[in-house]
Amino acid sequence: MNVVTPVPRIPFLAACAAAALMAAPRPSLAQQTLNTLTAAERSAGWRLLFDGKTTAGWRGWKMDSLPSGWQAVDGALARVKPAADIITTDKFKNFELSLEWNIAKNGNSGIFYRASEDPGDDAIYWSAPEMQVLDDAGHPDGQSRLTAAGSDYGLYPSPAGVVKPAGQWNQVRLVVKGNHVEHWLNGVKVVEYDLLSPDWEAKVKASKFATHPRYGRNSEGYIGLQEHEYRVAFRNIKIRVLP
């Protein structure tokens, strides 16, 4: 009878695995490094709003300094204990904002734009529209698409199935040019609307913002991050001014 000598499988499988590893695409240094800009981004006009190490460039809404509840932690601008809403020290008119957020279980926060600090206002949302940041599965606001993650809070709904679960990083792109606004979440355009349009005016009139005459009407203002009782972290916060 013929005798077949078995071929050892472990070295063969190890060699295949090694070859596959060598062939697999590896992330570039730019992809690996948080809170930095590539040469292409700098050339395109992007700038960082958070350097990953300090809270420079941010302060509390209607405050001169940053509330201690917001800190730079592990490369993220994080709400770690009771604080207040915060804003950029600079104002922006037309812009493209890019960032990532990570919310705690049951958590709630938001991204404001064109915020102002009018003497009669008691809250930042009296003037600034908000892109919702939320644990859709754990927070009651997730039961309505009007107040779920990615929505223009209370006015324009976002689709389900786009946001990642609590504890994972979600990527945002917020485009504001003139009266046109786009909300992008994890590469998907989830909301699009025009400020001051008849449709927008009707939605505001039917919402809780109806009693705030400056809501959504600023031509420029601050970028804001919301304090809402839960831990939330933001990183890779960058912006470029649009014409």
Assess if residue 78 is contained within a domain: yes
Assess if residue 133 is contained within a domain: yes
- Looking at the predicted structure, is the pLDDT value of residue 8 above 60? no
pLDDT single digits (tens) 203-217: 999 999 999 999 999
What pLDDT is stored for residue 32 in this prediction? 52
Among 132, 134, 98, 95, which residue's Cα sits nearest to residue 114? 95
Assess if residue 20 is contained within a domain: no
Assess if residue 30 is contained within a domain: no
Range of the domain at 88: 36-241
Assess if residue 23 is contained within a domain: no
Q: What is the DSSP string of 45-84?
A: TEEES--SS--TTEEETT-SS--TTEEEETTEEEE-SS--
Query: What's the chain's average pLDDT?
Result: 90
Mean of the pLDDT values across residues 213-229? 97
Q: Are 45 and 240 in contact (CB under 8 A)?
A: yes
What pLDDT is stored for residue 141 in this prediction? 98
CATH value at residue 93:
2.60.120.560
Assess if residue 25 is contained within a domain: no
The fraction of the chain above a pLDDT of 90, given in percent, is 86
Compute φ and ψ for 164, nearest 5 degrees.
-90, 155
pLDDT single digits (tens) 133-168: 999 999 999 999 999 999 999 999 999 999 999 999
- Looking at the predicted structure, is the pLDDT value of residue 5 above 80? no
Whole-prediction pTM: 0.87
- Looking at the predicted structure, is the pLDDT value of residue 129 above 60? yes
Assess if residue 131 is contained within a domain: yes
pLDDT single digits (tens) 33-80: 999 999 999 999 999 999 999 999 999 999 999 999 999 999 999 999
What pLDDT is stored for residue 117 in this prediction? 98
> How many domains does the chain fold into?
1
Backbone CA torsion sign across 193, 198, 201, 203: negative
The Cα–Cα gap between 187 and 134 comes to: 17
Assess if residue 29 is contained within a domain: no
